[in-house]
Amino acid sequence: MTRTLVAASAGLAAVAAAALWGTTGTSQALGPAGTDPVSVGTLRIVVGAITLVLLALATARRGAAPPSARPACVPAPVVVLLGGGCVASYQACFFEGVARSGVAVGTVIALGTAPLATGLLGLLLSERPTGRWAVATSAAVAGVVLLVAGSGADAPVDAVGIAAAVGAGLSYAGYTVAARTLLLRGARGTLVMAGLFVTGALLLLPTLVGADLTWLTEPTGLLMVLWLGVVATGLSYVLFQHGLARLSAGTVATLSLAEPVTATLLGVLVLDERLSVASATGIVVVLASLLLIAAPRRRPALPG
């Protein structure tokens, strides 16, 4: 397979993972009444962790990618612990951010922070952001702002909520770079994701103590958790690691901005939500930005 095809395959995997993440809001909207977002988020990570462990065991005989020549400054268990902590903190920070600042503001801040922070943290892996990445990421973030602003949601400015949303974006960057670090060392992708999500699940389990989970007895509640855990987490992060093993952390983070596009389109098609001109424009801008960053780079025949 040529380098271009490998990059295209990785890019499609990253976008597909983001598309599955984008089903989260619709899944919860179709679920039973009385669900607690924090409990749903924790159960999603727990079920996702179990799914990833089973997939890691099922693919245990497959070889890992050749390790890089970079020295392992931080031991692998420490990287897993840090990455798993970021998985857990993303859930906590995101839900706190949207609860205090509103879904629109919290989502824009979290999604806007994530690719920028990932690109900067990628410097630790000697992955220098390119001009194309900077342009595409800036445009994609602007598109997300338009997309979410077009929903017409309004919420008071809350300093704690904004800080929590920024924390969610930083947490995303943290576990993405942690996973990329382990993948560059030659670790198997499914094993990496299983390790991060098992750690995150263990850290989140205390949030279920005393929680009302009676809604799990309803078929729609059980189906919602299974979809979010098995598909929107387990399967999506298998796709995510496929892209992350072949593309820089910053590039994958930018491609992940396909998530709000999917969420918006599902809201229109499934939940009968209205699509404003601003949101439609935002979708076009995001998709154009993703095409820009995913387009194969042409090598000029002459220097300059």
207 pLDDT higher than 50: yes
Whether 175 contacts 123, CB under 8 Å: no
In this structure, how many other beta carbons lie within 10 angstroms of the beta carbon of residue 179? 28
pLDDT at 74: 85
The values of phi and psi at residue 66, to 5°, are: -60, 130
Count of alpha carbons within 13 angstroms of residue 270, beta-carbon side: 15
Angle between helices 103-121 and 76-101 (to 10 degrees): 150
Cβ atoms 109, 101 nearer than 8 A: yes
Residue 216 has pLDDT above 50, yes or no: yes
* CA 263 to chain centroid: 13
Query: Does the pLDDT at position 301 exceed 50?
Result: no
Distance (Å, whole) CA 171 – CA 177: 10
Helix (H, G, I), strand (E, B) or coil at 28: helix
Rounded to two decimals, what is the model's pTM?
Answer: 0.90
What is the distance between the alpha carbons of residues 211 and 272, in angstroms, rounded to a whole number? 31
CA–CA dist 171, 180 (Å, integer):
14
pLDDT of 68 above 80: no
Mean pLDDT of 279-299: 85
CA–CA separation, 169 vs 107, rounded Å? Answer: 9
Cα–Cα distance for residue pair 238/209, rounded to 1 Å: 29
pLDDT (tens digit per residue) in 101-132: 777 778 888 988 999 999 999 998 999 889 99
Higher pLDDT, 6 or 245: 245
User: Nearest to residue 293, comparing CAs of 173, 120, 135?
Assistant: 135
Q: What is the pLDDT of residue 136?
A: 94
| Residue spans per domain, the chain | 3-294
pLDDT of 235 above 80: yes
List Cβ<8 Å contacts ≥24 apart for 88-91.
88/45, 88/199, 88/200, 88/201, 88/203, 88/204, 89/167, 89/168, 89/171, 89/174, 90/168, 90/171, 90/172, 90/175, 91/38, 91/41, 91/42, 91/45, 91/200, 91/204
Decide: 97 and 106 in contact? Cβ < 8 Å.
Answer: yes
**Which of 104, 246, 124 minimizes the C-alpha distance to 189?**
246
Structure tokens at 61: 């005989």
Tens-place pLDDT, residues 141-153: 999 999 888 776 6
Tell me what percent of the residues of the chain surpass a pLDDT of 70.
Answer: 90
> CA-CA distance, 164 to 157, in Å (whole number)?
12
